[in-house]
Structure 1
Amino acid sequence: MKKIIFTRHAKSSWDYEVSDIDRPLKMRGIQDAYLIGDRLKKENYHPNLVFSSPANRAMHTALIMLRQMAISPSTLKIDANLYDFEGSSLITTIKSLPNEADTAMLFGHNYAMTSVVNMLGDKFIDNVTTAGVVVINFASSNWENIPEEKGVTELVLFPKQLK
């Protein structure tokens, strides 16, 4: 059985004259990342694999949440495929995950996150909000088969639910 913890980066700033990949988190985004990370720890989520988009806002979200979940930041790997806004590269990453691991946590962007969780999960989600998490379980023992099967949506968690 495989599990994916899909995580959209926390709220980022548009206030700076920087490229999209370099945009920082806003204070609200930082606070939301701490909040969600705390809840994931309480719910006993412990991924074997953690991948983030190379975007500053995604990596910062990942580092905050991992700290709150008591997971070493050294487990975080950067995957350029997660700097994806429509979903096909995200699927490529999922299919290439090593089968020895059963739980992966992926930090990325919308529209890719919303598109993929709706394609793979059994619950429709209108929009994965910033710092939002969707956990989907799959019966498959092989990551490569995931895109061909529908999983069971186990958790939908948005910061607004915790405030």
Structure 2
Amino acid sequence: MKTLYVVRHAKSSWDFPQLSDFDRPLNKRGKRNAPDMGNRLKMRGILPDLIIASPANRALTTAKKIAKEIGYPVESIRENDQIYHSSEATLLQIIKDTPDNIQGLMLFGHNPGFTDLANFLGDQWIDNVPTCGIVAIAFDVESWTSVAPKTGKNLFFDYPKKVLL
């Protein structure tokens, strides 16, 4: 069994028009939501074996804030340039390239690719993964190379504005 966690970056700031899209930081809400979502993951007992993040400022910062909350070593986060503005096909290849000793993989990146990926792999349609949204998808496979479209089972979809009961 393999579990994939697809995490869209937290809300970014548009206060610095001179910055490139790649360099945009999180805004106040994003800085608050990322640790909150990390805490929700911690309450679920989730600690992935590997975190891979887009190197874009907002995605990497989100990954670090969530990693800190769940107890994942921040220095162990791997950056992958291919995640920035990627398609579901590119993201699927990153997943397939994951070593099989990894049971839980958490990816941090961007839309529209992350919503497309969740819909490409999972069994429940999601209109949009909002900022700092998390989609967990389980695969009944021994190898990440066996992950294929529509073979996953959605475990949960959580995001900052979702009310948890």
TM-score (normalised: structure 2): 0.95
Residue in 2 that maps onto 1:97: 98
Q: Partners of 1:149 and 1:126 in 2: how far apart? A: 16
Deviations 1:105-124 (A, max 9, x none): 00010000100100100111
Match of 2:44 in 1: 43
- What is residue 24 of structure 1 aligned with on the other side? 25
Q: SS at 1:159's partner residue?
A: coil
SS at match of 2:162: helix
- Cα offset, 1:81, TM superposition: 1.4
Q: How many residues align?
A: 163
Structure 1 Cα separation of the partners of residues 24 and 31 of structure 2: 13
Residue type of the alignment partner of 1:119:
F
RMSD of aligned Cα (Å): 1.2
Percent of pairs identical after alignment? 38
**Structure 2, unpaired ranges of 5+:** none
Instruction: List 4+ stretches of structure 1 deviating above 3 A.
Output: none
What is the Cα deviation at residue 15 of structure 1? 2.2
Deviation at 1:97, TM superposition (A): 0.4
- Counterpart residue number, 2:121: 120
Q: Does structure 2 retain, via aligned residues, the 8 Å contact 1:11–1:26?
A: yes
Q: Which amino acid aligns with 1:159?
A: P
Q: Is the CA contact 2:120–2:149 (under 8 Å) kept in the aligned structure 1?
A: no
| Unpaired stretches in structure 1, ≥5 consecutive residues | none
Cα distance, 1:145 vs structure 2: 1.4
